[in-house]
Structure 1
Amino acid sequence: MSSQIPVKQIDPSTDASDNNKKKAETVDLYAERKKIYVKEVKGLFQRIRFFSLMGLMGMYFLFCWITIDGQPLIHFDLPAREFHLYGATFYPKDFFLLSGMLIICAFGLFFITTLFGRVWCGYTCPQTVWTFIFMWVEERIEGSRNKRMKLDKSENSREKVVKKSLKHTAWLLIALATGLTFVGYFYPIRELIADLFTLQANGWAYFWVAFFTVATYLNAGWLREQVCLYMCPYARFQSVMFDPNTRIVSYDPSRGEPRGGRKKTAAKEELGLGDCIDCGLCVQVCPTGIDIRDGLQYECIGCALCIDACDNVMDKMNYPRGLIRYTTENELEGKTSKLLRPRTFGYGIVLSLMVSAIIFTLSTRVPAELDVLRDRGALFNYNGRGLIENSYTLKIANMSEVPQTYQLSVSGLDTLTLTSKAQVNVASGEHLSLPAVVEVDPESIHDTNSTITFTMRSLTDESLTIETESRFVGPSQ
């Protein structure tokens, strides 16, 4: 859809009355989208992307099926407020770890972008991954770039309908598998599939599977580069992280210009031409449809398909590779490029500190919790034996993957005794509230308010012991 405004063309050689008679012309403010037909290319960076794509897709589609001791490897159990990750269970109180992980991801992205530009976009971004899968399917069904262009321009025929139907069916099946897998991280995947096809799943399960199916189908099949150009904010703010030492995909104009076609046997020096033969392959393989020879553009996602295409042409022409390559602005200008610089040091230090903090927190994290709440309804009581009693509520949480048996005890004063249940069984993920009564001989009390310590020791895991301090209140001396 285009927006147009009238623009009156003024001819200085005529008077005002003549100019007023001229018809207003229109100028498009927004260009209509032109479909991009990406040409398939083979090369080093395409192989790297293939293996990264296979690894990422393998993890995404398989991890929800893997179980450890009957527990899914990754499972976000929202109703139970439990999050199972790689054999560990986390709870809402651990959300500060999520904040730390998000900070690590952000500074990791900044650090990598400062060094190597948009390699995240080119090799690991989900939009790129699924788009390349959809393009691969399209290539297999409809044929090469020229065949796809010819097919789209042709009249409707049996061949066209069959190919288009097969392509969109394959896209929808991939999108459905994507939606099922995503929901499978929140709803055990084996139960999800059985419940969906027996109509036993709740309405939200159907909604979210349908939502992610449609979103994947539209983003990877129809929108493609539009997501990168207009919907993704990273394309807009990446420039603040670039500097002349950032390694990006660039065309070398000093070597390639002036460009022009020639025979393989022709001497470029005699023709007064550079290495670029102006074949246009770098444009044909670009998934965002730009010409890298025009310089750095925000639309470039750093996928390096143009490098592979250009290197193949250079090989055929017996020219050195690298006319288009990963390089820096300084190197293109013949200057020295620095890998380490203040900006990268800053990002690297913050990233290292955050990673160290998260590792330390996880390594020292205790898979159990003991909170002691003193009964404030009464300061103290005398029991039938003349001993002073204080009442407490013990909040016990088992955050391990197995049931635990805990032995409870109390210390801090002579003759201090825990009169309530001293041994308790707590299931995995259970939060137990237990009333407790502590008594002491009045002769052992020297202060009105004394510090005591509750100890919870696991009989299942001998290395697990938790101590929590509280206060014991007695009569004034």
Structure 2
Amino acid sequence: MSKQETKPIELSLYKAHEKVYPREVKGRFQFKRKLAVWVLLGLFYLLPWISWAGEQAILFDLPQRRFHIFSLTLWPQDFIFLALMLIIAAFALFFFTALAGRLWCGFACPQTVWTEVFIWLEQLTEGNRHKRMKLDKAPWSTEKVLRKFSKQFLWITFALWTGFTFVGFFTPVKELAAHVWQWTLGPWESFWLFFYSLATYGNAGYLREQVCLYMCPYARFQSAMFDQETLIISYDEQRGEPRMRGKHRREADAPGDCIDCTLCVQVCPTGIDIRDGLQYECIACAACIDACDDVMEKSGMPKGLIKYTTENALVGKPTHLVRPRTLIYFIILMTLVSSFGIALVKRSSIDMNVIHDRNSFYRVVNANTIENVYTLKVMNKGESMTRYQVSASGIEGLTVVLGLNQTIIEAEPGQLVTVPIKIQADKKWANKKIHTIEVSVVKTNDDSDQATEKVKYFGYDK
């Protein structure tokens, strides 16, 4: 008996990417999404051109090591504020995700916002969903070349403008515009302009939903913040099934409300079928809700076959949006926001550091006086040249002597001044081995703006 030869079967571990052609849809959620796009992009593209007190309103000036935000100027020493902002953003994401799912992804994520614009430009040049699909399948012709060229021209122009605006947050945008016009851009400005333009073009023009599906880590760990009381976009299976259309629907005794029009699939920017249940690919853009509500209204059936709801509500259980998880997130978030606001209001324009001389603990000046030597570093975090006075407290009769025959310290904006200081005390008061004193630096024209630091003072205990 001969053995039959079998040919090996090749199996692919990866599914070939299929282009998604999202269909345009109108509705209350899509109106909100478009409004969010206009507001966010308006802020991004207009803020660099707004002047505030004679300077660019938002400017992250890296060469000068300062972040200018309207009337507030932050320096590297203010890194704590950046850390607080990132922590606040993280807990805001936790709170809104636990409350209503992926609101960030659907309405405010930069990937979503810029992808919307690129899709609008594609619709402008190539037409609606049906025309775009037909155009891609058609052989190359003059019309196809013109439409594809027009789309690419708009995409590249918009991407370059985006890269230019991004660099304008780090280089004064008016100077940057002059450099671009005169072709005198520096190497780093050129690199970041074209790099960010390429990133915008690639992510929003070509990768689109693939960024959300394969590159974004949030899509992977979002389920850890969901529970059965989280508002998510869901299909009401009990109401919609069995789904039928046409003749089968007319002949059925009790068909479900879903007429199987697949519009919910056609409008989805990630190409999923929401009727298959909750999926990590869903970015909660709510396009399927608007499409389904429109179909239900035309079919004479109540809206809400696809809606924002919870898993508990779908099975008839009560829903509690205010629950321990959301309450804890909210309390932490409000505490962080309050702390950030208070710290910002009480922020001093003075940064100081006092370092004790390592060569000797103290010096005997005369029969009654000893002194400790320190190095005082003062930074002016304000917007103008400032004069400072230095004082010390903690031991009775302390006297501060500035080095280099100075009586006050002067510092330009952003300048770090280093001054040797001597703090003298009477032996009868500095009679312990170690004291704790407080060194203060205060503006000469504003007593309320000052900085203090506690340091060790070595006394005469013999």
TM-score greater than 0.5 by the shorter chain: yes
Match of 1:63, SS?
helix
Cα deviation, residue 374, structure 1? 3.4
Question: Are 1:47 and 2:34 an aligned pair?
Answer: no
State which of 315, 331, 334 in structure 2 corresponds to 1:352.
334
Task: Quickly say closer, same or farther: Cα 1:327–1:388, change in 2 above 3 A.
Answer: closer
**Greater Cα shift, 48-57 or 466-475:** 466-475
Cα deviation, residue 365, structure 1? 2.1
Task: Quickly say closer, same or farther: Cα 1:243–1:414, change in 2 above 3 A.
Answer: closer
**Other-structure match for 1:274:** 256
State which of 181, 196, 199 in structure 2 corresponds to 1:212.
196
TM-score normalised by length of structure 2: 0.90
Q: Which runs of 5 or more residues in structure 2 are unaligned? A: none
Cα deviation, residue 94, structure 1? 2.8
Aligned residues: 458
**Other-structure match for 1:4:** none
Cα deviation, residue 52, structure 1? 0.9
**Other-structure match for 1:426:** 411
Question: Are 1:458 and 2:443 an aligned pair?
Answer: yes
**Matches of residues 44-443 of structure 1 in structure 2 within 5 Å?**
44-262=28-246, 271-378=253-360, 379-380=362-363, 382=365, 390-411=372-393, 412-414=395-397, 416=399, 418=401, 420-439=405-424
- Distance, in Å, in 1 between the alignment partners of 2:427 and 2:326 is 65
Task: Quickly say closer, same or farther: Cα 1:417–1:145, change in 2 above 3 A.
Answer: closer
Contact 2:263-2:291 at 8 Å conserved across structures: yes
Query: What do the CA deviations read for 1:90-119 (whole angstroms, capped 9, x no partner)?
Result: 233332333332222222212211111111
Task: Quickly say closer, same or farther: Cα 1:235–1:451, change in 2 above 3 A.
Answer: closer
**Other-structure match for 1:3:** none
Name the aligned partner's letter for residue 298 of structure 2.
K
Contact 1:380-1:473 at 8 Å conserved across structures: no
**Greater Cα shift, 136-145 or 269-278:** 269-278
Contact 2:392-2:398 at 8 Å conserved across structures: no
Contact 1:36-1:289 at 8 Å conserved across structures: yes
Match of 1:365, SS?
coil
Query: What do the CA deviations read for 1:1-58 (whole angstroms, capped 9, x no partner)?
Result: xxxxxxxxxxxxxxx966x445444443322111111111111000000111111111
Contact 2:440-2:453 at 8 Å conserved across structures: yes
Cα deviation, residue 225, structure 1? 0.8
* RMSD of equivalent CA atoms: 2.7
- Distance, in Å, in 1 between the alignment partners of 2:2 and 2:327 is 67
Contact 1:75-1:187 at 8 Å conserved across structures: yes
- Distance, in Å, in 2 between the alignment partners of 1:402 and 1:268 is 80
- Distance, in Å, in 1 between the alignment partners of 2:426 and 2:96 is 65
Cα deviation, residue 473, structure 1? 5.1
**Greater Cα shift, 132-141 or 428-437:** 428-437
Q: Which runs of 5 or more residues in structure 1 are unaligned? A: 1-15
- Distance, in Å, in 1 between the alignment partners of 2:154 and 2:162 is 12
Query: What do the CA deviations read for 1:323-343 (whole angstroms, capped 9, x no partner)?
Result: 111111111112211112232
TM-score normalised by length of structure 1: 0.87
Task: Quickly say closer, same or farther: Cα 1:421–1:254, change in 2 above 3 A.
Answer: same
- Distance, in Å, in 2 between the alignment partners of 1:257 and 1:444 is 89
Name the aligned partner's letter for residue 91 of structure 2.
F
Match of 1:400, SS?
coil
- Distance, in Å, in 2 between the alignment partners of 1:354 and 1:444 is 43
Contact 1:307-1:322 at 8 Å conserved across structures: yes
Task: Quickly say closer, same or farther: Cα 1:335–1:442, change in 2 above 3 A.
Answer: closer
Contact 2:400-2:421 at 8 Å conserved across structures: no
Contact 1:416-1:441 at 8 Å conserved across structures: no
Contact 2:431-2:460 at 8 Å conserved across structures: no
Name the aligned partner's letter for residue 84 of structure 1.
H
Contact 2:375-2:421 at 8 Å conserved across structures: yes
Name the aligned partner's letter for residue 181 of structure 1.
T
Cα deviation, residue 448, structure 1? 6.3
- Distance, in Å, in 1 between the alignment partners of 2:377 and 2:293 is 66
Query: What do the CA deviations read for 1:404-438 (whole angstroms, capped 9, x no partner)?
Result: 22233445443735364222332221111123344
Query: What do the CA deviations read for 1:201-249 (whole angstroms, capped 9, x no partner)?
Result: 3211111111111111011000111111111111111112222211111
